[in-house]
Amino acid sequence: MGAVQLTGVRKLFGQMEVIKGVDLTVADGELVVFVGPSGCGKSTLLRMIAGLEDVDYGDIRIAGADVTELAPARRGVAMVFQNYALYPHMTAYDNLAYGLRRAGMARADVDARVQEAAVLLQITELLPRRPKAMSGGQRQRVAIGRAIVRKPEVFLFDEPLSNLDASLRVEMRSQIARLHHDLKATMIFVTHDQVEAMTLADRIVVLNAGRVEQVGTPREVYHNPANLFVAGFIGSPAMNLIPAMAGQGGLTLPWGTQLPWPKPALAGPVTLGLRPDRLSLVPQARAQASGQVTLVEHLGDESILHVRLDTGASLTIKAPGDVQVRLGDVAHIGFDLTSAVLFGPDGRVLT
Ligand SMILES: Nc1ncnc2c1ncn2[C@@H]1O[C@H](COP(=O)(O)OP(=O)(O)OP(=O)(O)O)[C@@H](O)[C@H]1O
Ligand SMILES: [Mg+2]
């Protein structure tokens, strides 16, 4: 199995630099998830590791060996694509066996590998079928099987679950977690799904416009975001980011409310970050902000309230599912500052 090491990796498409100097080490056996907005370079970075895109600057090492100039087939990686990319005219068995046969592997060895992967993925009974006679989840398992039979050092998954419905996603997510546990392989997984990222990852890499904004465990990127971008990107609903003035041991909010801030603060403009579950409805006398409810989302065991303040700013509150609030009500909001984070004018967290 292999660690993956990127050093100063850059990629240009024509004049446009889409990967702007990425340094990253994925440990042997680690499951790392890439997240970031659409177009930030997740797929490109993955394809560069796979050898499907050239590296313009920097180098890529897998299991210690420089693979920057190596052909994809010789890197010890296998990639699983969002659209499965199965051969439609072949059975699942042949889809799994194809690459091994082409590499000249003996028939009995091919069969052993295919059967082993099929057991692992519980697709043995699907082996005689063609892709069109399978569900999305079954196709996706075959696509993963095609990666497994190659016994790669590194698995690369580019949004492999995004075509599946919600319940299948959850099932496949746990399959991938189990697979990672069983194979103890290094895995890099791209997803748009926050829950997928938080539940699968040993570490999350947050990408933005071709740069790494933060690398950390799910807990770290959630509780200790390095900057405003990560704070706003990780977590759903998003963190409330409130402009404030720091000074004299406290914060002044745009609507005049004063908040104590225990840490010796600098003076000047800052941004206060508060997760929606740190805001609650309180009696007016204890409120730090008040405004009009503009949206109530009932999600069962919780309700998300959107409140517009007089300043025009909007706050998001995670309230209990049975909260008695209607559109247009005036809401008085209390802040729990215990896990609040403060960002400086440059967007970086203040420690
Ligand atoms: N072959 C290409 N030629 C030119 N530009 C490209 C090419 N492939 C990707 N790009 C551009 O590079 C940037 C990064 O694309 P990439 O596909 O890596 O984003 P992504 O983070 O995977 O996005 P998504 O979440 O939508 O899949 C985008 O601006 C994209 O338009
Ligand atoms: Mg992509």
Sequence spans of domains, the chain: 4-232, 237-343
Token duo for residue 312: 């025009």
How far away, in angstroms, is 240 Cα from ligand 1 center?
29
Identity (one letter) of the amino acid at 262? P
Question: Whose Cα sits closest to atom 4 in ligand 1?
Answer: 13
**Cα of 57 from ligand 2 centre, angstroms:** 21
CA of 240 to the centre of ligand 2 (A): 27
Digit-coded pLDDT (tens) for 118-167 = 998 889 999 999 999 998 888 988 999 999 999 899 999 999 888 777 88
What's the gap in Å between 307 CA and the centre of ligand 1?
36
Nearest alpha-carbon partner for 171 in 144, 146, 150: 144
Q: Which helix (H) or strand (E) holds 176?
A: helix 166-183
What pLDDT score does 49 carry?
97
Cα-to-centroid distance, 43 and ligand 2 (Å): 4
pLDDT of 1: 63
Nearest CA to ligand 1 atom 8: 44
CA–CA separation, 22 and 55 (whole Å):
11
pLDDT (tens digit, 9 = 90+) per residue, 273-285?
A: 999 999 999 999 9
**Is 244 in contact with 341 (CB distance < 8 Å)?**
no
| CA-angle at 42, arms to 185 and 160, nearest 5° | 55
* Predicted pLDDT at 147: 92
Measured from CB, residues less than 6 Å from any atom of ligand 1 are 13, 18, 36, 38-44
User: Measuring CA to CA, which residue among 59, 53, 58, 95 is closest to residue 72?
Assistant: 53
- Please report, for residues 220, 284, 305, the alpha-carbon distance to residue 289 in angstroms, rounded to integers and kept in the order given: 28, 9, 14
Residue bearing the CA closest to ligand 1, atom 26: 38
Omega before 283 cis (within 30°)?
no
Q: 234 C-alpha to center of ligand 2: Å?
A: 18
3-state SS of 248-305? CCEEECCCCCEEECCCCCCCEEEEEEECHHHEEECCHHHCCEEEEEEEEEECCCEEEE
The residues facing 16 across adjacent strands are 13
Chain-centre distance for alpha carbon 331? 33
Structure tokens, 252: 């002044």
Q: Give residue 38 CA to ligand 2 midpoint distance, Å.
A: 7
What is the residue with the minimal CA distance to atom 1 of ligand 1? Answer: 13
- The residue among 346, 289, 299, 349 whose CA lies nearest residue 322 is 299
On the question of a common fold for 4-232 and 237-343, the answer reads no
Q: Going by CA atoms, what residue is nearest to atom 17 of ligand 1?
A: 43
Looking at residue 65, what is its pLDDT?
Answer: 95
Q: What is the CA radius of gyration of the chain?
A: 24
- In the reported structure, the alpha carbon of residue 205 is separated from the centroid of ligand 1 by a whole-number distance in angstroms of 17
The H or E element containing residue 24 is strand 16-26
Quick one: DSSP state of residue 328? T
Single out the residue of 284, 326, 282, 334 nearest to residue 306, CA to CA: 326
CA-37 nearest atom, ligand 1: 25
Whole-number Å distance between alpha carbons of 255 and 272:
14
Ligand 1 atom nearest to 159, measured from its CA: 27
Q: Could you tell me whether strands 186-190 and 211-216 are parallel, antiparallel, or unpaired per DSSP bridges? A: unpaired
Specify the pLDDT at position 104. Answer: 93
Q: Check if CATH label 3.40.1710.10 holds for domain 237-343.
A: no
Identify which of 42, 53, 156 to mutate to test ligand 1's pocket (most ligand atoms within 8 A of the CB): 42
Q: What is the pLDDT of residues 286-296, one digit of tens each?
A: 999 999 999 99
**Ligand showing the shortest atom-to-Cα distance for residue 40:** 1
Give the number of other Cβ atoms within 10 Å of residue 43's Cβ.
20
The strand order across the sheet containing 4-13 reads: 16-26, 4-13, 57-62, 65-66
Collect the ranges in the chain with pLDDT lower than 70: 1, 263-265
Look at ligand 1, atom 18, and give the residue with the nearest C-alpha: 41
- Name 62's Cβ contacts closer than 8 Å, sequence gap at least 6: 2, 3, 4, 5, 49, 75, 76, 77, 153, 154
Task: Determine whether domain 4-232 maps to CATH 3.40.1080.10.
Answer: no
Identify the residue whose C-alpha is closest to ligand 1 atom 3: 13
